[in-house]
Amino acid sequence: MSEITSSIPLQINPDLQEERDKASFNVTELTHIIYGGIEKTKKRKRLEKLLFSDPFFQEYQNVRAFGSRSEYYAASVKKSTKIFKLRRQHKWTDEEYETVLDICHDDLALTLHHTMFIPALERLATEDQKSKWLTLAKQYKIIGTYAQTELGHGTYLQGLETTATYDPQTREFVMNTPTLSAMKWWPGSLGKSSNHALVLATLIISGKKYGMHPFLVQLRSMDDHKVLPGVRVGDIGAKMGGNSVDNGYLILDNVRIPRNNMLMKNAQVSPDGKFVTRGPSKANYATMMLIRVQICTMAYQVVSSGATIGIRYSAVRRQSKLDPQDREPKILEYQTQQYKIFPGLAMSYAFLFASRSLTRKYEEAFAEIQRGDFKSLPELHCLSSGLKSFCSEHSVRQVEIIRQSCGGHGYLNAAGLGMLVNAAAPMITVEGENTVMYLQLARYILKRFAGAMSGQQLDGSTSYLSMDPATYVCPVMSETDCRNLTALCDIYRYRSYMTVCRVARQVQHDMESDMPQHVAINKNLVDLVRAAKAHSYYIVVKDFVEGVDALVASAPVIKVLRTLCCFYAAHGIAEYSGDFLESEAVGLHQLKWIKNLQVSLLGEIRPDAVALVDAFDYHDITLSSALGCYDGNAYERLFKSTENDPMNKEEVHPSYYQYLKPFMEEMNKSKL
Ligand SMILES: CCCCCCCCCCCCCCCCCCCCCC(=O)SCCNC(=O)CCNC(=O)[C@H](O)C(C)(C)COP(=O)(O)OP(=O)(O)OC[C@H]1O[C@@H](n2cnc3c(N)ncnc32)[C@H](O)[C@@H]1OP(=O)(O)O
Ligand SMILES: Cc1cc2nc3c(=O)[nH]c(=O)nc-3n(C[C@H](O)[C@H](O)[C@H](O)COP(=O)(O)OP(=O)(O)OC[C@H]3O[C@@H](n4cnc5c(N)ncnc54)[C@H](O)[C@@H]3O)c2cc1C
């Protein structure tokens, strides 16, 4: 017993080393592919070294695990400001700064300033306004948030109640929160951190409403951070996760702001109160679309972090017996364990390629929009709405499965998985609740389908809706065909086509039976969401297949990625087999073959599993998990983590003297 210490061995756990030694491909090569080239990997490593040479970043983990909410928030503000200062000091580009946020892998107190406030100014302000406000924001001379959601409305933006009434006498807007349900509720960094907010409010001129527009409102004094007159602001309380962020409430009572504080890129109010609009009516929704695209990348980071922890731990944890003559096996040997974790591994690579493709499309469309060409906007809105929902839903679910696969230790904060699930869970809700966003996609698909039916030639992600279903024959004719990625992709495409076709016909039929349109739509909402999910699944599989096909890499890397891609597609068909059978994208024979393939691929992925997560190259501090550390010394790290637990500070806890001791004394004296 005396040999048991909490020191961490210097060497890599031999069970993990053994895995690394048998990898079939070069891990560094794959890392470069993941991060976009050797130079980017090197840059990331340099930034990582710079950040983590500061002991604060290690100490921060302890506050996160054991601190009170207030301490955690304070540490997070410290971390945010440290990063801001480093950014100025090292003159990081936006890309380098994004990399730093990825390395930090945490929801920081002031992140919203960078992720929403600045992008909103970039997208919604005129050049003159940018030269003033954007410059101040980029120099951190003002700290801002994006205040859109209200207590009564988050989804339905047309229902927002905050008002901005123009007063032509003083050339000011008067900002008001007319009801309880109109108070802003949820914006990140609003409660305690921000001194400015971009408030989304209904514009009123001479009693007439002109829809939702952005207004820059100062909330706190720039001298002492005190709340300004007419403003009431505070924190909305502890949440399931992300408690480093002060999501806040805001009540405005006749707060006057200059006319120029309305961000006027997309619509202007002249000094004498004339309203003029430019571009499409949804131009003010631009910031939300950007974040939806980014959520897909976050979903990749979430699921790849979870897979790293689950696979490394499963390679060092030994339990029970497989061969009665042999030692206890690594739990990774159990087929059921592989079945719980490898879908998350394959999903990581699927989401890597899908988010990359979506980001590229977003950047192309954004460049067009900047030139005043809005033609790609509807397609991008719907693609980003669908993929945001799909990637967030699947990643959060998969990481929870991985957490469960780590047994009891997965339930500890030190495992990092519970925190990861709770931190990631809001991805499902923020920037448009998933069901609502799937329905935005469904609405677009229905319109495109109707277009295809009337002979329109479609392009973009829905071009397949022009297909002639009569020509479809399941491309899998034998068990070996199941490994053909194009064939698997075709199966997804046809399943999506049939799911869309069925619900479109049903809606049409209901409307032709004299049902009002809104009733017909509501009667079919479940199937509409199903169609949007089927379409999104097809897009993700297609992006994965095309991404791997386009890769310039060594044969072993291509081989292992093709195996993962095949597994991802086969697993989806097996998991949603009812839908695939119902749409007749596959028959019973094909389903049986695909299910067999799925199981046999587990064994093929197994030898490379550790190498495939090593390629994500997450730093131990980024991962923040005793179970998933690179050296595999999980038990030592778990034991070490108890040293920081405030519960272990004293040998006898004060509660003993206060409660337990008197209780025990009473019990001992008692005659009963
Ligand atoms: C191990 C440890 C490791 C740790 C690792 C840790 C790893 C890291 C973990 C990290 C995880 C952390 C995550 C935490 C969160 C992060 C913070 C995020 C901040 C979140 C900020 C927010 O949350 S901020 C508020 C967002 N709030 C919305 O998102 C409202 C949704 N609600 C709407 O967005 C509209 O309400 C909605 C529905 C469109 C209807 O809008 P509406 O009613 O006006 O319009 P209609 O439906 O009538 O549609 C009319 C026509 O407009 C078209 N259209 C609509 N939108 C359009 C658009 N954008 N562009 C073009 N077109 C558009 C549509 O397609 C129709 O087109 P058509 O007519 O041709 O059919
Ligand atoms: C951690 C976190 C951070 C956030 N940060 C910000 C921020 O910085 N700034 C900001 O402005 N907001 C922020 N929000 C708010 C967020 O954007 C909203 O919560 C989100 O848009 C969902 O809106 P809601 O809460 O009104 O959900 P609701 O719309 O009330 O959703 C409740 C249920 O109603 C259903 N529903 C609603 N409408 C429809 C419909 N038309 N059809 C079918 N079903 C429907 C939904 O599917 C869901 O099941 C944040 C929220 C969270 C959780």
**Mean pLDDT over each residue of the chain, to the nearest integer:** 96
Confidence bin at 2 (pLDDT 50/70/90) = low
Ligand 1 centroid to 374 CA: how many Å?
18
Annotated binding site: 149, 188
Cite the DSSP H helix spans in 166-283: none
What does the block give as tokens for 122? 């970039």
Rounded distance between C-alpha atoms, residue 296 and residue 466, angstroms: 28
Is the CB of 439 inside a 6 Å radius of any atom of ligand 2?
yes
Is the CB of 146 inside a 6 Å radius of any atom of ligand 2?
yes
Domain boundary among 565, 586, 613: 613
Largest CA distance in the chain: 92
Using the predicted structure, report yes or no on whether residue 318 has a pLDDT greater than 60. Answer: yes
Is the CB of 186 inside a 6 Å radius of any atom of ligand 2?
yes
Confidence bin at 6 (pLDDT 50/70/90) = confident
Confidence bin at 37 (pLDDT 50/70/90) = very high
**Do 332 and 232 sit in the same domain of this protein?**
no
47: CATH:
1.10.540.10
Is the CB of 402 inside a 6 Å radius of any atom of ligand 1?
no
Ligand 1 centroid to 440 CA: how many Å?
10
In 3D space, the residue among 266, 125, 267 whose CA is nearest the CA of residue 196 turns out to be 125
Confidence bin at 279 (pLDDT 50/70/90) = confident
Confidence bin at 429 (pLDDT 50/70/90) = very high
**Do 170 and 299 sit in the same domain of this protein?**
no
The percentage of residues in the chain with a pLDDT greater than 70, rounded to a whole number, is: 100
**Do 245 and 146 sit in the same domain of this protein?**
yes
- Select which of 19, 48, 172, 431 is catalytic: 431
476 domain residue, yes or no = no
Ligand 1 centroid to 441 CA: how many Å?
12
459 domain residue, yes or no = no
The answer to whether 602 touches 335, Cβ cutoff 8 Å, is: yes
pLDDT value, residue 533: 98
Buried b (16+ CB within 10 A) or exposed e, 51-86: bbeeeebeebbebbbebeeeebbbbbbbbbeebbeb
In 3D space, the residue among 189, 327, 208, 297 whose CA is nearest the CA of residue 246 turns out to be 189
Ligand 2 pocket test, candidate residues 106, 155, 245, most atoms within 8 A of CB: 155
Ligand 1 pocket test, candidate residues 266, 381, 435, most atoms within 8 A of CB: 381
Give per-residue pLDDT as tens, 55-102: 999 899 899 999 999 999 999 999 999 999 999 999 999 899 999 999
Rounded distance between C-alpha atoms, residue 608 and residue 237, angstroms: 44
**Do 399 and 533 sit in the same domain of this protein?**
yes
**Do 230 and 273 sit in the same domain of this protein?**
yes
Mean pLDDT of 654-660: 98
Domain boundary among 613, 639, 658: 613
Is the CB of 522 inside a 6 Å radius of any atom of ligand 2?
no
Using the predicted structure, report yes or no on whether residue 1 has a pLDDT greater than 80. Answer: no
Ligand closest to CA 157: 1
Ligand 1 pocket test, candidate residues 60, 117, 157, most atoms within 8 A of CB: 157
Using the predicted structure, report yes or no on whether residue 491 has a pLDDT greater than 80. Answer: yes
CA-nearest residue for atom 68, ligand 1, is 444
For residue 503, give its domain range.
287-453+486-613
Ligand 2 centroid to 431 CA: how many Å?
7
Q: Among 264-268, 277-281, 459-463, where is mean pLDDT lowest?
A: 277-281
Ligand 1 centroid to 303 CA: how many Å?
22
**Do 191 and 297 sit in the same domain of this protein?**
no
**Do 377 and 447 sit in the same domain of this protein?**
yes
Using the predicted structure, report yes or no on whether residue 274 has a pLDDT greater than 90. Answer: yes
182: CATH:
2.40.110.10
Mean pLDDT of 112-135: 96
**Count of Cβ atoms closer than 10 Å to residue 256 Cβ:** 13
Q: How many domains does the chain have?
A: 3
Count, residues in the chain: 672
Is the CB of 393 inside a 6 Å radius of any atom of ligand 1?
no
Give per-residue pLDDT as tens, 430-484: 999 999 999 999 999 999 999 999 999 999 999 999 999 999 999 999 999 999 9
502 domain residue, yes or no = yes
Domain boundary among 562, 592, 613: 613
Ligand 1 centroid to 288 CA: how many Å?
5
Mean pLDDT of 149-178: 98
**Do 427 and 539 sit in the same domain of this protein?**
yes
Residue 175, beta-bridge partner list:
164, 255
Q: Using a cut of 0.90, tell me whether the model's pTM lies above it.
A: yes
Annotated binding site for FAD: 149, 188
**Do 345 and 419 sit in the same domain of this protein?**
yes
The answer to whether 119 touches 290, Cβ cutoff 8 Å, is: yes
**Do 99 and 153 sit in the same domain of this protein?**
no
**SS3 assignment, position 252:** strand
- Can you say how many angstroms the Cα of residue 42 is from the centroid of all Cα atoms in its chain? 25
Mean pLDDT of 218-229: 98
656 domain residue, yes or no = no
**Do 161 and 80 sit in the same domain of this protein?**
no
Confidence bin at 234 (pLDDT 50/70/90) = very high
Angle at 469 between CA 463 and CA 475, to 5 degrees: 95
Residue 665 among the catalytic residues: no
Is the CB of 247 inside a 6 Å radius of any atom of ligand 2?
yes
Rounded distance between C-alpha atoms, residue 339 and residue 309, angstroms: 15
Rounded distance between C-alpha atoms, residue 193 and residue 582, angstroms: 52
Rounded distance between C-alpha atoms, residue 440 and residue 609, angstroms: 37
What does the block give as tokens for 469? 């279903």
**Do 360 and 388 sit in the same domain of this protein?**
yes
CA-nearest residue for atom 42, ligand 2, is 436
Rounded distance between C-alpha atoms, residue 323 and residue 329, angstroms: 8
Give Cβ neighbours of residue 333 (< 8 Å, ≥ 6 apart): 322, 606
Rounded distance between C-alpha atoms, residue 314 and residue 19, angstroms: 11
575: CATH:
1.20.140.10
